[in-house]
Structure 1
Amino acid sequence: MNIWKWIDDLEPELRAAGHQELAELMRELPRAAASDRHDRVDALAPVALALARAARLPWVEVFVRHWHLQSRVLHRAQGDMALGEAVALVDFSHGEAARGCPQAVCTVQDLAACYAWVDGPGYAPERIAVSRETLSRIDPSWPCYACISNELAGALRDQDAPQACIDFLDEQRRVMAPDRRELLPQRIGALIQLGRVEEALAACQEAIAHGRGDDHARRARRIDLARIYARMGRAEDAMREVPVPEDILPLPALYGIYTDAQVQLVAIGARPNDRALDRLLQRFITRLEAQGSFDGPFQLAADAVDLACRRGSPAVARLHLATMERLATKLRRPLDRLDRLARARLSLETAESQPVAARPSDPEDILRVRAAASAARPGDRVLARRHAATLFDLGFAGESAALLERLLAERPDLDVARLLESAYLAAGESDRHRALGERLLAAGDDASRRVGRWISARRLARLGDLAGSNEHLVALATDARDAVAARLLHARNAREQRDWPVVLRLIDEVLALDPNLGGGVHHCDRMLAATLLGAWDKVRDSAARLGMTVAGDSGPIDERWEVCKIRVVHPDGELQDLWARRSGPCTAKLLEISSLRYPQRHGDQVAFDSLGVGDEPGPNEADPPVMIYAELATLARGGYFAFRIDGVHPGEAALAGLRRVVEAHRGALQVQSGSRYRVVSPEGSEHPGLCAHIVYPADVELARAAAALDAHARTLPGPLMWPELAEAAGDDETCGRHLRLVGAWGLDS
């Protein structure tokens, strides 16, 4: 069955039955997963699942749970962490309640992929068997036929049988439609394994040109190009394609191929074999292992051992070797991983037998020195803490935590506890983090309880239990040693809760305790809270402390400051940076017409975080950067309605006249298209195009505004179309005429 046709057929039925939100979520979930917006998937899936169950629609429940697993397993590489849900969904989708569900086959893919992350080679025989059985009972025209074929191909590659994988893919190509290209990624990987890089490059280029075009697929193919070019010795091409680490860190499914690209770049001298690369690999390993994926991080740790030995850092290589040994015990079938473990041990022995040149400023050599010093004097807390801090700085959070736990068990220490918290967080050790706080809270001495309160307060705040965090902070604030720090964290929690009176009260209390308090963040929070509460004297006070000049001595602040951009969050979570003009330290008016897919934001008065989230170059080279601020509250709605105009560009003079007609009815027109935008007439002639957005305030008489626009447009050399505006104005004749023009000119209005 074509799953997307099922969705197309189901959507109007859902809407007719009053399930509009569910219908929208069923469209949004796959889009969010494919574009790697996984926080959005996690937010939408529980809502959609609750709606599907309330409507008693088991097929829709399978759909929702499947797409959540696609995000968790295929994109985020969750192994054991997702295995229970993957097994449960297969059972549910093949049970009586969901009998005949078109996505039941897809749940088999979810489960097979989950086992692949746990131990790909170890579960390969079972994955091959279930994939072949599933393929035997579905039609090659179904989309899921390609998905299951990919799982089988991946299992063959995990068995180190790339040629068998190629043979299978050739067989599948013969039975699938000739324009289906979903199997190309597995072909690329197998060809790379076989060393057939020219063929791999051709397959990769075909996938880029004709394969999936979503964000995740584009990133993966760019990495494949980098891997291939590096093997071909084309360093410049490879470096151009490889994404920056920040783009890959949220996507564990890409860690393996990204690491391969980096290793190959090191091999041809295109990037350094340095601490930054080792720290990146350690972050990859930590996240994958925390998610219950074991073979992938084993292979990454083996690469890390080789790299560390080659750059003369045996102390780091030994840590990675210990990771390999730990992960090997979690694999279902160790298979050839034992051979790789033996080779890693031999590499380390060889590296340790070489003379080591002292590198006093190299953190990896500092680790060697501090590890040796700590081992020589096991009772020295200062040396042990330095050793733990160096381990943490190099990315070995778990190893750092083990040392710090011993120190904290010997004596309560806030500095050690704070570092241990960071190590737990970096290592994904949430259970141990919680247990540590509880154990110290239950201790009989005040020093331990104080440390336990701080650990628990910070942990609960990170988990979003702000009320629980605040209980500990109120108790801590009674101690003079913690009075300022506890209030500041409490104020940060209150800001997350949008409890602006509490934010303002707590920061005022801190200023009373420490009148010389530095740190712009506290005064930015104070200005924001005071603005929202109308406490303009306090806005002016904090602004002055931060060096801002504000006119007047009292009353609301509504000035004309510099232009900026405000980052708004639309109802579905999409972000958009809109041009605005600041009207005060943390207020602005939005000037740009926002996306027409959402309620219009033009003219809105907003409050923002004055710390800013970044900047971008000004419109001209000599202009200062334009600051970007995140909206935190809407103070007043502009109340505008927006519409699209599309068609033939009338020329700049006529466009200025069109803008004057719009402005005469208190509207605004903003051009969206560039100089290369073209439209094609029904006769096939090409013309410069114009796509623009216009807005009118809610109280304008749209019929008169639209009529004036239409009268002016009739004087122009080519047609301009605005069917939505005509419809809103109640002009059915003009709306129909414009819709016909839209169809004739092939424009998507």
Structure 2
Amino acid sequence: MDIFQWIEDLSDELNEAGQYRLVELINRIPHELHDNHPERVEAMLPEALAAARALQHPWLEVFFRHWGLQNRMRNLAEGEKALPEAVSLLEFAHRDQTQQCPQSVCVTQDIAICYGNVDGPGWVPERLAVSEETLARIEPSRACYDCISREYALALMDDGRAEEAIGYLQTQEQNMRRDGAEPGVAYRETQAAALFRAGRYDEALAGLASIDADDMLDDDDGDRLSRQTFRALILARQGRIDEAWEALPEYGPLIVPLLYPRWSEAVALIAQARPEHNHWRLGRLLMSMAAHMDQGGAHRRCIELALRHGELALLRNAPWSARRALELARRHQPKLRADLGAAAQIDAFAARIDALAGAEFALPMPADQVYSHVRGNEGSDPEQDMELLQAAYAERRDDGALAGLLASAMLACGAREEALAHLWDFVGRHPESDEAPPSQLLEQLLDGDDASVQVERLAALVQPQRAPFAHWCRAQLAFRHARWREVGEHVQRLLEIAPESFGARRLWARAAMEANDFAQAVELYADLAERSEQPGSDDWDLMTAASAAGDWAAVRRSAARLGMELTGSEGPVRETWGWLRVRYERDGESYDCLARRTGPVTAQVMTVAPPGRTQHVRDEIVFDAAPLEAAPEDEAERERWLAPFRVVHIAHRADYRCWFVDGAHPGEAPFEALREAVETLDWSLWVRSGDDYRVRDPASGEDEALPGVYFFLATPPQLAPAEVDRRLHELTAGFEHPLSWPQLAEQAGADVARHEAVIEAYGL
């Protein structure tokens, strides 16, 4: 069975059953994965799996678990960490009720990828065997043939058989084309990778360029970023350093761990040739990449990244960083399935560190002056300051300020574990300290996997000498874990001892807002506002809480304190204050909508989302008053800029439904009449086409002869599709050219053939 046809048929069945959200997840999870958004996939996957299991649909469970693994092993490059799930899914996908699922073939690819991530060269025989066995039972026309062939070729490359991989990929491509299939973008990039491994750099570059030129349908943001990174690496290998630096994509969230090996090798070659790029920030970044591989159990990649970082550290005279890299590499060497020269490489690097190590470091100034010296140096380099700070701290182990500065330097260099050990040592000896180390330690512990245990350990340690800080630790932990009621309990205990702790009151108020306990939040923010000497942020936060609570009297009082004039003197605030952007967060993704401001911190959403997506049009929302982005510096940009604000509460959810309408533009006057009529009906119309959109003229048969328009039409939830269809026919009856809305017609039980004819005639 063709996997794409199965997904299409399944989506149709689920839509008919009203499972619109599940269809959205089926489409979005692979899409977000390929666009390098692993955090969004992770956010959506639990809901998707729960829905598949609730429907008792094992094929769908295979589908979602496969894409979850692909996210972990493709984007996140997990190795041994993902292996238990890969083995479990392989067993699940070959049970009686799942073995006929088209996605079950893909699960064998998951095993091959996982072996490659754990230790690619060490697992070559197994990777070749599982790929060969799978290829023997699928036709070249199937998409899986492309995927599994790639895995076989990658195993050959990891075995040092690049020329054989080139020939193999050519043969497999011929098989695909013979059966009417086309190699995809990833396949062609793998062909370029084989050429690269064989040292045929110009041919590899030409292969990447041909993918760009062909504008392939399956090309996506992740593929393009991968090629961009690969191109930079090839140029760097050729010694074309300036071109490589220009081609290398800037590091950011879309540089997922899958890209770390090529990106890091490219930047390392550039930094070796251009020392100005070899700095402590690059060192921190490369060490964080190696640490990710460490956590994911990608043993050989961890070693390679650690040594790459270490070599650059030696070049910039940072032996402390080089030694940390060596320790990490040594820890993973015994975990390799086959050594293949790794131990010798690590030993050679260790010898270089030993050879470059100088005499014992001597402080160039009195230890009590080091803190002021480092803090006063605007161009301070934490990596270069490390030995200075360590030597000074060895003499002044009770100096809290110096201990905090040393911890900051360690954290700046990405040495979190070392910083934690250092901070625990200091706080353990000085639990009464109110200097930086206890707060630094709390901040780090809150981000850890075992935060509950470790934060409680810290709180218990400081409780006898600093009870308020102990309660603060527990309140912060409760907030981090969304235990909103507990936040208030701990803050109340803190306030009994330290009643002037404004920060604690604000944390409690924020927790009340998160818990939708708006009345409590109003009370807390009102108290803070009264304690403030001048009106300010507490008044704005009070208005947010009060707007969510419907306490309009409190809104008006704070507005008056801030010098804002509101219409009327009582009742709900209803202003007309222009446009702004409001930002929602869902599935690990942030997205903005345009809205009309109706008060200091209230608005009505005007953007219509596409059919099938979460709809917010006509929602009445409350937003946080602090803009999420700073205004642009350029004056011209600032004039067009709308500040985005975070949505904190939906006061009224409209739940409108959306329909897609397309066709020839009726002209400005008829279209404006349609827009006005739609508004009168309390519907919303949102044009999505641009001025350059053109459609075919049926009279002449010429393509792109007529101006076109397509838009989203949102209607109230209580309005039946048949009524929407009827009214839309009435509103567009006078148009010279008919519009089409096939999805609405189908839902309304109307004549879909009429809309299909319009689509055909106008080339929509």
Please, what TM-score do these two structures have when normalized by structure 1?
A: 0.86
Question: Which residue in 1 is equivalent to 2:319?
Answer: 314
- Indicate whether 1:190 and 2:208 are aligned: no
* Contact kept in structure 2, 1:294 and 1:330, CA below 8 Å: yes
User: Structure 2 vs 1, CA of residues 666 and 533 (structure 1 numbering), >3 Å: closer, same or farther?
Assistant: closer
Q: 1:386 aligns with which of 381, 396, 405?
A: 405
CA distance in 1, matches of 2:585, 2:569: 34
Q: 1:587 aligns with which of 585, 602, 606?
A: 602
- Indicate whether 1:675 and 2:679 are aligned: no
* Contact kept in structure 1, 2:471 and 2:490, CA below 8 Å: yes
Question: Which residue in 1 is equivalent to 2:143?
Answer: 143
The residue correspondences of 1:496-575 to structure 2 (distance < 5 A) are: 496-511=514-529, 514-516=531-533, 520=537, 522-543=538-559, 550=566, 554-568=570-584
User: Structure 2 vs 1, CA of residues 500 and 723 (structure 1 numbering), >3 Å: closer, same or farther?
Assistant: same
User: Structure 2 vs 1, CA of residues 443 and 111 (structure 1 numbering), >3 Å: closer, same or farther?
Assistant: same
CA distance in 1, matches of 2:747, 2:138: 48
User: Structure 2 vs 1, CA of residues 115 and 642 (structure 1 numbering), >3 Å: closer, same or farther?
Assistant: closer
Matched position secondary structure for 2:646: strand
User: Structure 2 vs 1, CA of residues 331 and 463 (structure 1 numbering), >3 Å: closer, same or farther?
Assistant: farther
Matched position secondary structure for 2:734: helix
Flag structure 1 segments of 5+ consecutive residues without an equivalent: none
Question: Which residue in 2 is equivalent to 1:457?
Answer: 475
Quick check: 411-420 or 261-270, which moved more? 261-270
The residue correspondences of 1:241-280 to structure 2 (distance < 5 A) are: 241-248=247-254, 251-267=256-272, 269=274, 272-280=277-285
* Contact kept in structure 2, 1:440 and 1:451, CA below 8 Å: no
Question: Which residue in 1 is equivalent to 2:370?
Answer: none
User: Structure 2 vs 1, CA of residues 53 and 593 (structure 1 numbering), >3 Å: closer, same or farther?
Assistant: closer
The residue correspondences of 1:41-56 to structure 2 (distance < 5 A) are: 41-56=41-56
- Indicate whether 1:693 and 2:698 are aligned: no
Q: 2:646 aligns with which of 630, 633, 654?
A: 630
Letter of the 2:735 counterpart: A
Question: Which residue in 1 is equivalent to 2:456?
Answer: 438
Q: 2:437 aligns with which of 411, 416, 420?
A: 416
Question: Which residue in 1 is equivalent to 2:734?
Answer: 712
* Contact kept in structure 1, 2:2 and 2:142, CA below 8 Å: yes
Q: Cα offset for 1:313? A: 2.8
* Contact kept in structure 1, 2:446 and 2:455, CA below 8 Å: no
The residue correspondences of 1:117-266 to structure 2 (distance < 5 A) are: 117-177=117-177, 179-181=182-184, 182-208=186-212, 209-210=215-216, 212-232=218-238, 238-239=244-245, 241-248=247-254, 251-266=256-271
* Contact kept in structure 2, 1:706 and 1:729, CA below 8 Å: no
Matched position secondary structure for 1:210: coil
CA distance in 2, matches of 1:270, 1:660: 63
Quick check: 375-384 or 697-706, which moved more? 697-706
CA deviation string 1:432-466 (max 9, x = no partner): x4333333455696237665544443334323344
RMSD (Å) for aligned C-alpha atoms? 3.9
Question: Which residue in 2 is equivalent to 1:303?
Answer: 308
The alignment covers a number of residue pairs equal to 735
Question: Which residue in 2 is equivalent to 1:447?
Answer: 465
* Contact kept in structure 2, 1:642 and 1:696, CA below 8 Å: yes
Question: Which residue in 1 is equivalent to 2:619?
Answer: 604
CA distance in 1, matches of 2:697, 2:588: 37
Flag structure 2 segments of 5+ consecutive residues without an equivalent: 365-373
CA distance in 2, matches of 1:128, 1:562: 63
CA distance in 1, matches of 2:96, 2:733: 63
CA distance in 2, matches of 1:34, 1:538: 48
User: Structure 2 vs 1, CA of residues 96 and 640 (structure 1 numbering), >3 Å: closer, same or farther?
Assistant: closer
* Contact kept in structure 1, 2:189 and 2:208, CA below 8 Å: yes
CA distance in 2, matches of 1:659, 1:445: 65
Letter of the 2:189 counterpart: P
CA deviation string 1:632-676 (max 9, x = no partner): 223345676655443334555665565566567676655422232
CA distance in 1, matches of 2:460, 2:274: 55
CA deviation string 1:217-259 (max 9, x = no partner): 232222223323444566675455433322335x222222222
* Contact kept in structure 1, 2:615 and 2:656, CA below 8 Å: yes
Quick check: 636-645 or 175-184, which moved more? 636-645
Question: Which residue in 2 is equivalent to 1:71?
Answer: 71
CA deviation string 1:195-219 (max 9, x = no partner): 3221111222233433732332232
Q: Cα offset for 1:100? A: 3.7
Q: Cα offset for 1:143? A: 2.3
CA distance in 2, matches of 1:586, 1:78: 43
Letter of the 2:187 counterpart: L
CA distance in 1, matches of 2:454, 2:743: 60
CA distance in 2, matches of 1:308, 1:602: 53
CA distance in 2, matches of 1:8, 1:697: 27
CA distance in 2, matches of 1:449, 1:149: 63
Letter of the 2:691 counterpart: S
User: Structure 2 vs 1, CA of residues 508 and 285 (structure 1 numbering), >3 Å: closer, same or farther?
Assistant: farther
CA distance in 2, matches of 1:297, 1:666: 58
Matched position secondary structure for 2:277: coil
* Contact kept in structure 2, 1:437 and 1:453, CA below 8 Å: no
* Contact kept in structure 2, 1:53 and 1:61, CA below 8 Å: yes
User: Structure 2 vs 1, CA of residues 543 and 394 (structure 1 numbering), >3 Å: closer, same or farther?
Assistant: farther
User: Structure 2 vs 1, CA of residues 568 and 423 (structure 1 numbering), >3 Å: closer, same or farther?
Assistant: closer
Percent of pairs identical after alignment? Answer: 34
CA distance in 1, matches of 2:25, 2:641: 38
* Contact kept in structure 2, 1:305 and 1:318, CA below 8 Å: yes
Letter of the 1:179 counterpart: E
Of structures 1 and 2, the one with the larger relative CO (CA 8 A, separation 6+) is 2
User: Structure 2 vs 1, CA of residues 370 and 355 (structure 1 numbering), >3 Å: closer, same or farther?
Assistant: closer
CA distance in 1, matches of 2:50, 2:556: 48
Q: Cα offset for 1:370? A: 0.8
Q: Cα offset for 1:404? A: 1.2
Question: Which residue in 2 is equivalent to 1:740?
Answer: 757
Matched position secondary structure for 1:447: coil
Q: 2:328 aligns with which of 323, 343, 349?
A: 323
Letter of the 2:601 counterpart: C
CA distance in 1, matches of 2:321, 2:536: 37
CA distance in 2, matches of 1:679, 1:619: 38
CA distance in 2, matches of 1:109, 1:685: 44
Question: Which residue in 1 is equivalent to 2:391?
Answer: 372
Q: Cα offset for 1:301? A: 1.8
Q: Cα offset for 1:531? A: 0.9
CA distance in 2, matches of 1:578, 1:619: 23
User: Structure 2 vs 1, CA of residues 602 and 395 (structure 1 numbering), >3 Å: closer, same or farther?
Assistant: same
CA deviation string 1:485-522 (max 9, x = no partner): 3332222222222222222233334445x4348973x4
CA deviation string 1:539-587 (max 9, x = no partner): 34544666755566554332232421223458x7765423222222211
CA distance in 2, matches of 1:455, 1:259: 38
Letter of the 1:345 counterpart: A
User: Structure 2 vs 1, CA of residues 94 and 221 (structure 1 numbering), >3 Å: closer, same or farther?
Assistant: same
Letter of the 1:489 counterpart: L
Matched position secondary structure for 2:465: helix
* Contact kept in structure 2, 1:647 and 1:690, CA below 8 Å: yes
* Contact kept in structure 1, 2:529 and 2:535, CA below 8 Å: no
CA distance in 1, matches of 2:641, 2:268: 37
CA distance in 2, matches of 1:704, 1:5: 33
Q: Cα offset for 1:609? A: 1.6
User: Structure 2 vs 1, CA of residues 588 and 158 (structure 1 numbering), >3 Å: closer, same or farther?
Assistant: same
Q: 2:422 aligns with which of 403, 406, 409?
A: 403
Letter of the 1:392 counterpart: L
CA deviation string 1:10-30 (max 9, x = no partner): 445566778676555444433
Quick check: 335-344 or 595-604, which moved more? 595-604
